[in-house]
Amino acid sequence: MPSTLTLSVLDTSPIVAGSSAKQALHNTLDLARLADTTGYHRYWVPEHHSMRGVACAEPAVLAGAIAAATARLRVGAGGALLPNHPPLLVAERWGMLTALHPGRIDLGIGRASGGAPSVAEALRRPHDATTASAHAAALTELLDHFEAEPEPPQVRAVPASGNRPDIWLLGSSGASARLAAEHGLPCANAYHLNPDKALDTAQSYRAAFQPSAHLPEPTTLVSVAVICADTDTDAEWLAGSTRMKTLSRHRGHRIQLPSPEHAATELAALDDAELGTYSPGLVIGSPDTVIRQLRTIATRTGTTELMITTPVHDHEQRLRSYRLLIEEAGTCPR
């Protein structure tokens, strides 16, 4: 593991089976307070719409609550989906957050819809909003809102003036990485969504990077799904929940994250090899086992920061996973 490795948190505010959106959001604040006091660097929340298993639909709202509940963490969006919003509104929202919490706000920008195709219509989003050219134009407009101009434009994102968050581009493909490189922005590589392309994405970004006034050198983080428990066996038991959820999605049924007890019954007929196909890229095990696998991912992708998302049904077990991981990482050379 690189000596300067940093650990961060990606939290979807999961609504697990038997829970509610309200409970999921309060669990997020609970986890954020743990992350703030144990050494995690940043804490990002996503934008998802009409997903029964995800409580966070507006990252600016939740990021504000997290920043108010913590003292040290960098807090941000992972990410705000630019095709869903006018760049003016995004600049205003995140400029306000930066003004309220200076030096602590990140704005990760994504291009996905954040939900099923019907979501685009419900959001009144233009049909061509996610094309490469439209996304690039919207990104340029957003960045311009944060730049001071000698002659103010007719339309101004007033709270954004002088209040620029750290702006990242999210991606699991070479196209997003190259756009980040073109603008001299840091790139967040979604290994947990597309582990097979993580190395190519990282290489594409570094090869095309153009220094900017805000970032002289290429900078990356890599998001990884991790389940850590006291033993490898305990972690494998907890991982049954996410494997069952993935299996159900493959069968055309979307479910909330089930308990490991329920998952064990459903998965009993599958062998180990088949089970592995329903958790691609998921890092599972005891603290030592997990740290060794994370070391490999960090080295292969050339990053110094890993952003951890942990799909565990029980909130206390989820908190423990994050605690075990940061404690083990703290024993590594720094």
pLDDT of the residue at 1: 43
- Asked, for residue 260, whether it belongs to a domain, the answer is no
What integer is the mean pLDDT of 197-211? Answer: 94
User: Cα separation of 205 and 219, whole Å?
Assistant: 9
Structure confidence at residue 150 as a pLDDT band (50, 70, 90): low
- Asked, for residue 177, whether it belongs to a domain, the answer is yes
Report the CATH number that the domain containing residue 129 is assigned in CATH.
Answer: 3.20.20.30
pLDDT of the residue at 3: 57
Neighbours of 88 (CB within 10 A): 15
- Asked, for residue 261, whether it belongs to a domain, the answer is no
pLDDT of the residue at 241: 96
User: Cα separation of 235 and 222, whole Å?
Assistant: 22
C-alpha distance from residue 121 to each of 24, 27, 54, 111, 125 (Å): 27, 31, 20, 16, 6
User: Cα separation of 201 and 173, whole Å?
Assistant: 6
- Asked, for residue 277, whether it belongs to a domain, the answer is no
Structure confidence at residue 332 as a pLDDT band (50, 70, 90): very low
Q: What are the pLDDT digits (tens) for 81-97? A: 999 999 999 999 999 99
User: Cα separation of 90 and 157, whole Å?
Assistant: 9
- Asked, for residue 262, whether it belongs to a domain, the answer is no
Q: What are the pLDDT digits (tens) for 25-82? A: 999 999 999 999 999 999 999 999 999 999 999 999 999 999 999 999 999 999 999 9
Inform me whether the pLDDT recorded for 116 exceeds 90: no
pLDDT of the residue at 104: 98
- Asked, for residue 79, whether it belongs to a domain, the answer is yes
- Asked, for residue 250, whether it belongs to a domain, the answer is no
CA 241 from chain centre, in angstroms, equals: 20
User: Cα separation of 36 and 33, whole Å?
Assistant: 5
User: Cα separation of 40 and 306, whole Å?
Assistant: 10
Residue 141 phi, psi dihedral angles, 5° rounding: -60, -45
What integer is the mean pLDDT of 251-268? Answer: 93
User: Cα separation of 326 and 150, whole Å?
Assistant: 46
Q: What are the pLDDT digits (tens) for 157-200? A: 999 999 999 999 998 778 899 999 999 999 999 999 889 899 99
Domain housing 131? 6-225+284-329
Report how many domains make up the chain.
Answer: 1
Task: Encode the chain in three state secondary structure.
Answer: CCCCCEEEEECCCECCCCCCHHHHHHHHHHHHHHHHHHCCCEEEECCCCCCCCECCCCHHHHHHHHHHHCCCCEEEEEEEEHHHCCHHHHHHHHHHHHHHCCCCEEEEEECCCCCCHHHHHHCCCCCCCCCHHHHHHHHHHHHHHCCCCCCCCCCCCHHHCCCCCEEEEEECCHHHHHHHHHCCCCEEECCCCCHHHHHHHHHHHHHHCCCCCCCCCCCEEEEEEEEECCCHHHHHHHHHHHHHHHHHHHCCCCCCCCCHHHHHHHHCCCCHHHHHCCCCCCEEECHHHHHHHHHHHHHHHCCCEEEEECCCCCHHHHHHHHHHHHHHHCCCCC
**Higher per-residue pLDDT: 3 or 298:** 298
Neighbours of 172 (CB within 10 A): 22
C-alpha distance from residue 41 to each of 26, 70, 141 (Å): 20, 12, 29
pTM: 0.94
Averaged confidence pLDDT in the chain: 92
Inform me whether the pLDDT recorded for 331 exceeds 50: no
Residue 77 phi, psi dihedral angles, 5° rounding: -100, 135
Quote the percentage of the chain above a pLDDT of 90: 79
pLDDT of the residue at 115: 79
- Asked, for residue 271, whether it belongs to a domain, the answer is no
User: Cα separation of 265 and 273, whole Å?
Assistant: 17
